[in-house]
Chains A and B, each alone.
Chain A
Amino acid sequence: MTDATSASAPASQPPRIGSILHESDRTKRRNAAERRFRLYGVIAISIGMLFLAALLFAIVRNGIPAFTQTYMTVQIELPADVLDENGNRDPEDLRKVSTFGYNPLIAAALERTVSEAGIETEITDGSDLRDMLSSAAGAQLRDTVLADPDVIGTTQEFRLLASSRVDGYMKGRVDRESLARDPNLSPEHLDVVDGLVDAGAINRSFNWPFITGSDASESRPEQAGMGVAILGSFFMMLVVLVLSLPIGVAASIYLEEFAPQNKFTDFIEVNISNLAAVPSIVFGILGLAVFIQFAHLPQSAPLVGGLTLTLMTLPTIVISTRASLKAVPPSIRDAALGVGASKMQSVFHHVLPLAMPGILTGTIIGLAQALGETAPLLLIGMVGYIATNYPDGVASGFLDPNSAMPAQIFEWAKRADPAYYERAWGGIIILLVFLLTMNLIAILLRRRFERRW
């Protein structure tokens, strides 16, 4: 009991080991080690945050321009002698004028617009001026004429897509220096563009067609949109949800509540855990072999994509469902069985409802994972110039060739025109919005319904 005496010792004496008032060397080292460890933690988190910030910054900076698009407003004369030689407005005859047949009209209108705006330029030829507009312009005119033959013989105002180079100039991606070596547009065109901007004929507006439109060919990135690919993803997710939720939940309930514990069920459990770690491209090859080559389902169809992604999502759902079933305390089951419920009644009336929030969260996370998956889709033919036709109905939504959001982004990133690169980043923003929404729903469900014991 020397401590008791030391406490009453004079303060001038050196502090002894074990005093709570004075740190010993060992305590100092321990405290320093703890401070260092906390610092490491802070450093690790800041590095993570830094990467996240850099990633978000890059995505937003590169992708935001895709959400605006440059248009040119032009008054175009639609002469009857060019569009309807027979003069009888017969739709059959009108169809014979192809989209290329409208180019001279656009060229003439451009010449007039430029001279009316008082712009002096060396480019006097209308077909050269035509390079400022997207090649989609002809189709827009033709569709207008076919939809309403009465416009023939009048002059109509059209809001036409500017070409990707003009659009790039408005967004600061293209300048005179880079155009000097570009065969698609010349720096002189940009002087005309400047003049037309001053005259109010060229302006930029929000790009709805980017969100709702279909894919476009390599020569007109200005027209490309994600809409059809979003529908493709939607139909795929529908297949995944309808198949993987019931199968996954049924499998986990059986394994967790009913199955006997023996070597065989252990083997199944190990396999499910392993399947969750299988690279997704393997499921793609499996999908190609089983669904397309063996079952003869159509190529590039969202149905096949959904079936393949179901295989990928099932393990995730089974694992999370089993975890949430396990989290329901045994006392609930015991109480149900104690008042005379059958095993099945105890599961469906008591255990399953309590596990539901966890199951739903797991399902949504699994779906979000499937939504962002590209690799298996490469193998079943969903990458290319595919997402071009809107599905006519539910059946065609499942069976007609379509792409999916991540596959469309991958395809755009591959294409030659730099304007597609911008669209790929814009597509990533759309995909991220979907993923964040799904994760948010999962969090809300968990917050609202989760019960703790």
Chain B
Amino acid sequence: MTSVKLTASALAITAVCATAAAARDNVQIAGSSTVLPYASIVAEAFGENFDFPTPVVESGGSSAGLKRFCEGVGENTIDIANSSRPIRESDLELCTENGVDDIIEVRIGYDGIVFASQLNGPEFTAFEASDIFNALGAKVLVDGEIVDNPHTQWADFNADLPAADILAFIPGTKHGTREVFEEKVLLQGCEDTGAMQAMIDGGMSEDDAEDACLDVRGNGVTVDIDGDYTETLARVDSNPNGIGVFGLAFYENNTDSLKVATIGGVEPKTETIASGEYPVSRPLFFFIKKAHIGVIPGLKEYAEFFVSDEIAGPNGPLSNYGLVSDPELAQTQEAVANEETLGEGM
């Protein structure tokens, strides 16, 4: 009896494996969890409006997505990598090594990064980059001296801020958001407070000073969140003094429990981010394997549909969800239509 079952199952498996070689007919996408909501909205509308099956969108993070993207060319590799950061030299090297040469870069728009706290918590409604740096930086400038951060309350360095204990939930180092947070907030704050100049004057090279600026205190004052925004939200919910770093779209979906802080007096909104008034934002991308166009049905149509005015334009579903649409969308549309790869025309 057992041997009969064994043979039957072995046969079944071989049959199934044989069909596995058959052509794949849906677009496969992986990468940034920030881009995932937008990609899923587009994929859904794409499935509804075209005769192609709905594309599959996996999450996992920008770096993991690009790594899988660069694994090679063929039906067993993904067609599109979503990313919340530009492609790096190291990614390109891996791609070239595995024969992924022609890559089309598509910028879909901008994402705002906001600081939000509990709705009923202390009045964290206005920050400057320098406040954030003074609160979270490992070494700060106090009375002209670079010292280990002595501040325990926000009011210690800025009397306008509430006298509440400093506690911040910031994205972990594997997140694309962390890079923006470091560059646009910490580094900016470091320069604004004069800490950076003081470090350079103290004999540090510029690069070392920059690195020192990006060091956060840790020690329970700053908490790295390696999960997603839901985790940050849960932490902020249970800590009245906590400040969390969120994407604009996530905040807009959870306005019933969060209040947002202005940066430099500007409220984060799609309009202020598009105009550049709100400083903390970053472009979002996806990358297409040109070799797969024409092999995987619907790939180019999906990309064109994604950047069309109907979808990615100022009143499209993506911008309703929180994406700041790209003022140069027309150029992107043209680039996708012409299949312009990285290195040419850019």
Contact = CB atoms under 8 A, between A and B. Distances in A.
Given A218-B321, A388-B44, A303 B24 contact: no
A385 to B, nearest CB: 4
Contacts of B104: none
B288 to A, nearest CB: 17
A250 B6 contact: yes
Contacts of B253: 184, 416-418
B158 to A, nearest CB: 26
Interface stretch (B46-54, B89-97, B124-132, B276-284): B46-54
B255 A181 contact: yes
B50 to A, nearest CB: 9
B310 interface: yes
B2 A381 contact: no
B40 A217 contact: yes
A250 B2 contact: yes
B76 A398 contact: no
B19 A242 contact: no
B56 A300 contact: yes
A81 to B, nearest CB: 20
Interface residues of A, number: 51
Contact of A100 (B12, B39, B310): B310
B6 A246 contact: yes
A29 interface: no
B169 interface: no
Contacts of B45: 98-100, 217
A216 B58 CA distance: 14
Interface in A124-142: 135, 139, 142
Interface string A266-307: 000000000000000000000000001000111110010000
Given A299-B28, A414-B230, A389 B54 contact: yes
Contacts of A242: 9, 12
Given A249-B2, A299-B78, A178 B230 contact: no
A385 B48 contact: no
A408 to B, nearest CB: 13
Contacts of B317: 135, 219
A389 B50 CA distance: 14
B256 A418 contact: yes
A220 B256 CA distance: 18
Nearest to B247: A416
Contact of B16 (A250, A388, A395): A395
A348 B4 CA distance: 13
Contacts of A303: 16, 20
B56 A388 contact: yes
B249 interface: yes
B54 A219 contact: no
Contacts of A218: 36-37, 40-41, 321
A383 B53 contact: no
User: Considering residues A243, A303, A384, A413, which has the most beta carbons from chain B within 10 angstroms of its beta carbon?
Assistant: A384
A219 B320 contact: yes
Given A218-B41, A250-B2, A414 B228 contact: yes
A148 interface: no
A398 B18 CA distance: 12
Contacts of B41: 217-219
A342 B114 CA distance: 76
Given A142-B48, A298-B20, 10 more contacts: A183-B255, A243-B9, A246-B5, A249-B2, A292-B76, A296-B76, A385-B36, A388-B56, A414-B230, A416-B37
Nearest first, the 3 closest Cβ-Cβ pairs linking A and B are: A178-B256, A384-B58, A385-B40
Interface of B: 1-2, 5-6, 9, 12-13, 16-17, 19-20, 22, 24, 26, 28, 30, 33, 36-37, 39-41, 43-45, 47-49, 53-54, 56-60, 75-76, 78, 228-230, 249-250, 252-256, 259, 310, 317, 320-321
